Amino acid sequence: MPTLTHHDKIAVLDLGGGENRFSPDFLDQVNAHLDTALAEGAQGLVTTASGKFYSNGLDLDWLGANGDRADWYVGRVHALFARVLTLPVPTAAALPGHAFGAGAMLAIAHDYRVMRADRGFFCFPEADIRIPFTPGMAALIQAKLTPKSAIASMTTGRRFGGEDAAAFDLVDAAVPEDQVTSTALELLAPLGGKDQATLGAIKNTMFAPAVKALTGA
């Protein structure tokens, strides 16, 4: 269950202690916490988790039981990616463990990523599980990665440990477990106080093609 706390003026959203898959209820809770963080004047956002997963991504069990709502569900996931991508405050994903599939995409949507160095994988498994990227998902990833890094991560299903993920610029830093969240906070601390309307406009301009691919807007 996602929970929201604050570290000085930075909101810290803990996605939970399980696999943190994107059920509709999970998406509702995350969006509600983002609403709260912005309403309370947060000057930055760190997302993290309290278990061995940052997020395992799509809730495939829910999708299997609700195939007639697949388009609605994917649209909601896309909308969360677009929201985080253009959030009008600096953002960082602190990855204490595995980030797979759409969970890794959520991390990519942040401005910065910090990953545990010794355990956990960052992985886009789509090539191995026979689920092609949607155009929006591909646009999101390619908006953040170099062509070399996109090829290495999107077409192989490779599981990147922290050091490898940093070498391929999938994450900005790989650090010991007890420094993951503090490093993310340190990245954002000097960046607070920006005008939100201006920062939001900048991000929307920077990532306009990805936002359009994700939302159609």
Output the pLDDT for position 27: 98
pLDDT score for 14:
98
pLDDT for res 204: 98
CATH number of the domain to which 107 belongs? 3.90.226.10
DSSP H helical ranges for 41-94: 60-65, 70-85
Q: What angle do CA 60, 131, 92 make, to 5 degrees?
A: 70
The DSSP call for residue 58 is B
Range list of β-strands (E), 29-111: 44-48, 53-55, 91-95, 98-100
Edge-first strand listing for the sheet containing 98-100: 53-55, 98-100, 122-123, 159-160
Closest by CA to 163, choosing from 176, 152, 151, is 176
- Strand duo 53-55 + 3-7: pairing: unpaired
Mean pLDDT by 10 residues, the chain (217 residues): 96 97 98 97 97 95 94 97 98 97 98 96 96 97 98 98 97 97 97 94 98 93
Question: Domain tally for the chain?
Answer: 1
According to DSSP, residue 134 is labeled: P
* Residue 183 lies in domain: 3-215
Sequence-distant (≥ 6) Cβ neighbours of residue 41 within 8 angstroms: 9
pTM strictly above 0.85: yes
CB 175 within 8 A of CB 117: yes
For the chain, list the strands marked E by DSSP.
Answer: 3-7, 10-14, 44-48, 53-55, 91-95, 98-100, 112-116, 122-123, 159-160, 173-175
